[in-house]
Structure 1
Amino acid sequence: MTSPPPRPAGSFWLDNRTALLAGALAVALAGLVRFVIPYEREISSLWMLLVKLTPQLAACVAVAWLDVAWARWLRLHLVALPAIFLAFLCYFVPKTFMTALDMVDGTAAFEDLYLHVVVFVPFMIVGLVLSYRLGGGSREGVLRIGAAMTVLQMSGLEDLVAVLMNSRLDGVPEVWAWAHHMTVRLGHVATRTEAYVFIAVHLVLAVLVLVVPGRAVTALGRRMRRRAPSA
Structure 2
Amino acid sequence: MADSKRDLEMERFRKGELNVLICTNALEEGVDVSDCAFVIRFNRPLLGQKSHIQGAGRARRSDAKIFYFDNDPDKEEGRAKLLSEVAKDESLRLTEAQREERRIDATLSIPGVYPFNPPESAKAEVNLYNCLQMVYEYCAKTMGQSLNPEDLFTYEEKVICEYPRQVRKFIKEAKYPSPEGFQQVTLERVNARWGDTKLDSVLDPSRSRNLKTEDKEKRRFLYVVAIDMHERGLL
Structure 1 length as normaliser, TM-score? 0.22
- Structure with the bigger percentage of strand: 2
- Structure with the bigger percentage of helix: 1
Q: Which structure has the larger Rg?
A: 2
Structure 2 length as normaliser, TM-score? 0.22
